[in-house]
Structure 1
Amino acid sequence: MVAETETLCQSLCVPKRIDKHSPSESVVSCSSSFQTTFGDPSATKFIPSLRSGSHTDKGYRESNEDEHICIDNLSAHLGDLFGCPLPGAFYGVFDGHGGSNAAAVYVKDNAMKLFFEDANLPQMSDVDDNFLEKLENRHRKAFLLADQALACECSVPASCGTTALTALVLGGHLIVANAGDCRAVLCRKGVAIQISQDHRPSSSLERQRVEEVGGYIEDGYLNGDLAVTRALGDWYMKFPLGSSSPLISEPEIHQTLLTEDDEFLIVACDGIWDVMSNEDAVHLVRRALRRHNDPQRCAGELVNEALRLNTSDNLTAIVVCFASIYRESTSQRPRLRCCSLSEEARNRLRSLLEGN
């Protein structure tokens, strides 16, 4: 058994470090199975012009720190991964816990290898249902691979783990994968749409899953110890490989097709969402984009607002805009009505203006 475990670790583990590449609240119901939202077929013609900004603050947890990754142009980092020249982008937030951010650092430093180089991505002749399903399966596999690699990484204690949320944009397709309580919220025509689900003990679906495999919820914590029900690492709480466990690393994945109605995406750790609603965050970013059109400053303003609201957690926020210039949805703008004045009204107005 020991030999089998060592062989498995050797096959799954990635190098300790890889070269870093340069420089109204709607909830979408998600499940672990393949899921996509297409809408009007003509919408497939929309290709977003991506630009992003991020900001991190430790808050009050000096021992832990979120790690994140923002890549607006995947091809510049990885070349033509899919055999098709569609533009791609990749974003992720990894929120460490367990007294150390070692797991979050490891996943962030190895993200490109885990999610792309080792994921055996399908080659694409067309972005159809078959390709997207294969891509989702590879993405899910990457989460499991990262989890198993943490089990073998000597620099990451067994008591250390991290939540993880990634957002992959390929052409006009958005794929969000989540394990934990980070959250992705889309702004569509000014409406906040929650793309991911929070994996917390308070979730009835997660509680049911946990109890079915012998776990329990006590005082709002998984097995009385952990505030999330899905995470990478935390191997002190997981059963041996191949066994069902109350704490799992399998992500829930949601796919949606972006259209011109989609303005921006917010990806943030739970320190933001503990003190701000989805609508509040979206409204803050919309107002900021009207003022300065800078996603980097928007991310900073989100973090500063959470600090003002006395969040007790560390903070990371990413804002991804889908256009080079922010244009507020025309459906949200008030329409001005033109009306004509009668001759009598014009005379009265002229008299008032002249002081008569």
Structure 2
Amino acid sequence: MRFLFEDVSFPQTSEVNNVFLQEAENSLRKAFLLADSALADDCSVSSSSGTTALTALIFGRLLMVANAGDCRAVLCRKGEAIDMSQDHRPIYPSERRRVEELGGYIDDGYLNGVLSVSRALGDWDMKFPRGSPSPLIAEPEFRQVVLTEDDEFLIIGCDGIWDVMTSQHAVSLVRRSLRRHDDPAQCARDLVMEALRLNTFDNLTVIVICLSSVDHREQSPPSQRKLRCCSLSAEALCSLRRLLEGSASN
């Protein structure tokens, strides 16, 4: 977060246009790459340690997702699952081509026979020296969508969820749960329990972000429908910077 919001190029205007989108993407990309380099410089972190990363930012009605690795963001639009990211696995054709063009290879679905993802932060023992093209990269991919009144919630989860569940399965489960108790935190726990029931073998981290009330939207006429989301003003960004600077000094 600090790398992102301390970037002097991070857009300050509230007007979402092509220039804004390009600046936002550039700031996000830079934040991913700076975090990757920081892991290489941190002597307390093993060079064989790494992490995937996914961010979702809302600017007014625009949702922008940046992803490096096999976490996934899924938007629920009127009950339909819309993938807002692609899992970066070595076996996917586009990632396989990129890996092989840069001197890497795929063995039994693993990058260089070791790693199950083709993009990640850290894992510097898998990367070529800084400045050299490498099969394993921290460069994020972007997807964006203009939110509508039909958009209900966003699920962000790591691979332990998606190894045993389709995006639609997860969306349907959360939708049913929200109708019962309207509690996104409980929905996240429900997803974890469902993944365990389906015998997942990997990490389980999931966040559910409600964009509007499912019950309210289904019961209200179109003229009364409202999208519940927020974005950061310039003043809020300054406050966040001060907060981050204070935590860094402590």
Identical-pair percentage: 67
Cα distance in 2 between the residues matched to 1:147 and 1:166: 15
Match of 1:201 in 2: 90
Cα distance in 1 between the residues matched to 2:90 and 2:172: 29
Match of 1:312 in 2: 201
5+ unaligned residues in a row in structure 2: which ranges?
A: 220-250
Match of 2:74 in 1: 185
Is the contact made by 1:190 and 1:329 (CA closer than 8 Å) also made in structure 2?
A: no
Is the contact made by 2:67 and 2:140 (CA closer than 8 Å) also made in structure 1?
A: yes
Counterpart residue type for residue 167 of structure 1: A
Length-normalised TM-score, structure 1 = 0.60
The alpha-carbon deviation at position 172 of structure 1 amounts to: 1.0
Counterpart residue type for residue 98 of structure 2: R
Q: For the structure 1 residues 120 and 155, does the alpha-carbon distance in structure 2 shift closer, same or farther, using more than 3 Å as the test?
A: farther
Q: Deviating runs (4+, > 3 A) in structure 1?
A: 324-330
Match of 1:279 in 2: 168
Length-normalised TM-score, structure 2 = 0.85
Is the contact made by 1:222 and 1:228 (CA closer than 8 Å) also made in structure 2?
A: yes
Is the contact made by 1:267 and 1:318 (CA closer than 8 Å) also made in structure 2?
A: yes
Q: Which deviations, in whole Å up to 9, do the C-alpha atoms of 1:191-236 show, x marking residues without a partner?
A: 0111100000110100000000111001110001100000000000
**What's the RMSD between the two structures over aligned residues?**
1.6
Is the contact made by 2:152 and 2:213 (CA closer than 8 Å) also made in structure 1?
A: no
Between the two structures, name the one with larger relative contact order (CA 8 Å, sep ≥ 6): 1
The alpha-carbon deviation at position 122 of structure 1 amounts to: 2.3
Cα distance in 2 between the residues matched to 1:313 and 1:227: 12
SS in 2 for 1:132: helix
Match of 1:241 in 2: 130
Match of 1:167 in 2: 56
Match of 1:216 in 2: 105
Cα distance in 2 between the residues matched to 1:152 and 1:329: 51
* Number of residue-to-residue matches in the alignment: 220
Is the contact made by 2:178 and 2:214 (CA closer than 8 Å) also made in structure 1?
A: no
Q: For the structure 1 residues 128 and 254, does the alpha-carbon distance in structure 2 shift closer, same or farther, using more than 3 Å as the test?
A: same
Cα distance in 1 between the residues matched to 2:84 and 2:146: 12
Q: Give the structure with the higher percent helix.
A: 2
5+ unaligned residues in a row in structure 1: which ranges?
A: 1-111, 331-356
Cα distance in 1 between the residues matched to 2:92 and 2:138: 16
The alpha-carbon deviation at position 187 of structure 1 amounts to: 0.4
Is the contact made by 2:151 and 2:212 (CA closer than 8 Å) also made in structure 1?
A: no
For residue 17 of structure 2, the aligned residue among 106, 124, 128 is 128
